[in-house]
């Protein structure tokens, strides 16, 4: 697998693949006002068929990741219809398919054990497929090349030793250690955790294959829809037992691909665990969706704590 060639901007998909005319600037502006978004950026839905994401933090990596997924994978993810800079504000706009569904985070506590198991069983082959794509040789970085899009590897000014891209997972883990050390120095303090991890992370996290990675495997980025169950096996949520109606939950899409890229195989799991901020049992399901890397997750948790990302 070679790297995805980034599309030239402005990008517009073939009009035959559109569900309707692309949103006009006035439509986007009006929808943004209704959603309370300012000129700095936001997300708005247009006509119930388009989702527009725009702002200073929106990157071409997300648009190119969606194009890569559409071309190489058969999973539920939004289609990219357009990517361009607004001629006046110069802010990047992504016009995507609007996927009807509810984010799993808002539903999780109401779901039965069976419903959670059903959702996990639908996600498992999707992430298996994502991770089965052959990586480009000797490369860890964004979908199309360049540095790593995860904010952990961001710096105020360019620094390839932290931003990447990298050739090996040892360089990748060294970047984590360097980012941690720089963070402590910039804050005028030096703790035992920073020194300890700086010494040991580069050797503790090496020897992993590289995989295509979504980069933000969180419940809020998984959309599901409740549909009547006709299979004879009921998958119900809390409060639905005894109503005579059986429901199942269908995964409608995996969204928010801005951090997608080529990472060491442990990163999807480890970063998801390290960034987990809830008291529910999502991690039990996560263990069945992708291969667990508990030791690596423990290390990344300490790194993100040191970086003050969590």
Domain count, the chain: 2
- 5, part of any domain: no
What is the pTM (predicted TM-score) of this model? 0.92
248 and 167 share one domain: yes
Residues 280 and 142 in one domain: yes
Query: Quick check: 224 and 111 in contact, CB under 8 A?
Result: no
Spatial distance between the Cα atoms of 179 and 198, rounded to a whole number of angstroms:
9
**Confidence class for position 2, pLDDT limits 50, 70, 90:** confident
Report yes or no on 4 lying in a domain.
Answer: no
pLDDT at 79 over 80: yes
Question: Does residue 82 share a domain with residue 142?
Answer: no
* Residue 30 and residue 110 in one domain: no
Alpha-carbon distance of 155 to 148, in angstroms, equals: 11
- Looking at the structure, tell me whether residues 162 and 149 fall in a common domain: yes
Residues 135 and 91 in one domain: no
The mean pLDDT of the chain is 90
* Domain's final residue, options 97, 127, 151: 97
- Please report, for residues 31, 144, 186, 187, 236, the alpha-carbon distance to residue 245 in angstroms, rounded to integers and kept in the order given: 37, 47, 58, 57, 9
Let me know if residue 51 belongs to a domain.
Answer: yes
Q: Is the pLDDT of residue 39 over 70?
A: no
Same domain? 135 vs 208: yes
In a domain, 252, yes or no: yes
Q: What is the CATH number of the domain that holds 24?
A: 3.30.200
Sign of the Cα pseudo-torsion (187, 190, 195, 197, in order) = negative
Q: Are residues 138 and 222 in the same domain?
A: yes
Residue 1 lies in a domain: no
How do strand 92-97 and strand 80-85 relate by DSSP bridges?
antiparallel
Q: Tell me how far apart the alpha carbons of residues 62 and 260 are, in angstroms, rounded to a whole number.
A: 7
Q: Is the pLDDT of residue 227 over 60?
A: yes
Do 35 and 115 lie in one domain? The reply is no
pLDDT at 47: 96
- On whether both 251 and 304 belong to a single domain, the answer is yes
Q: Is position 41 within any domain? A: yes
Tens digits of residue pLDDT in 139-198: 999 999 999 999 999 999 999 999 999 999 999 999 998 998 888 877 766 667 777 887
Task: Indicate the residue among 72, 97, 122 that finishes a domain.
Answer: 97
Q: Is residue 160 located within the same domain as residue 245? A: yes
Model confidence at 275: pLDDT above 50? yes
Q: Quick one: which H or E segment has residue 208?
A: none
3-class DSSP state of 77: coil
Mean pLDDT of 217-237: 77
172 membership: H or E segment, kind and range: helix 169-186
Domain residues for the domain of 142 are 100-310
Statement: residue 82 has pLDDT above 90: yes
Q: Flag whether pLDDT at 260 surpasses 70.
A: yes
Provide the CATH number for the domain around residue 165: 3.90.1200.10
Last residue of a domain, one of 75, 97, 119: 97
Q: Is residue 147 part of a domain?
A: yes
User: Residue 242: pLDDT above 90?
Assistant: no
Ranking 35-49, 121-135, 210-224, 249-263 by mean pLDDT, the lowest is: 35-49
Q: How far apart are the first and last CA of the chain?
A: 34
Domain for residue 222, yes or no? yes
Cis, bond preceding 165 (omega within 30 deg of 0): yes
- Residue 113 sits in the same domain as residue 253: yes
């Amino acid at each position: 697998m070679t790297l995805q060639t980034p599309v030239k901007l402005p990008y517009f998909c073939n009009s035959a693949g559109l569900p309707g005319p692309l949103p006009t600037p006035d439509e986007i502006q009006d929808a943004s006002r209704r959603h309370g978004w300012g000129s700095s950026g936001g997300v708005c839905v247009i006509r119930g068929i388009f989702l527009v994401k725009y702002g200073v933090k929106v990157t071409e990596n997300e648009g190119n990741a969606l194009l890569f997924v559409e071309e190489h994978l058969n999973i539920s993810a939004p289609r990219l219809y357009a990517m361009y800079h607004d001629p006046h504000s110069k802010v990047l706009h992504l016009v995507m398919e609007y996927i009807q569904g509810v984010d799993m985070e808002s539903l999780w506590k109401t779901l039965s054990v069976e419903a959670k198991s059903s959702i996990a069983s639908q996600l498992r082959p999707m992430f298996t497929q994502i991770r089965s794509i052959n990586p480009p040789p000797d490369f860890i970085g964004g979908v199309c090349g360049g540095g790593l899009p995860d904010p952990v590897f961001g710096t105020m000014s360019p620094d390839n030793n932290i931003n990447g891209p990298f050739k090996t997972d040892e360089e990748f883990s060294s970047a984590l250690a360097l980012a941690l050390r720089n963070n402590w120095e910039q804050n005028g303090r030096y703790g035992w955790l920073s020194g300890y991890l700086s010494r040991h992370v580069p050797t503790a996290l090496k020897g992993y294959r590289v995989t295509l990675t979504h980069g933000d495997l969180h419940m809020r980025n998984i959309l599901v829809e409740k549909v009547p169950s006709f299979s004879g096996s009921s998958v119900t949520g809390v409060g639905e037992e005894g109503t005579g109606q059986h429901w199942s939950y269908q995964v409608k899409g995996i969204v928010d691909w801005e951090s997608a890229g080529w990472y060491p195989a442990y990163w999807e799991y480890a970063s998801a665990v390290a960034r987990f901020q809830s008291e529910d049992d999502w991690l039990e399901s996560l263990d069945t969706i992708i291969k667990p890397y508990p030791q690596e997750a423990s290390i990344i948790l300490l790194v993100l704590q040191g970086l003050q990302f969590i």
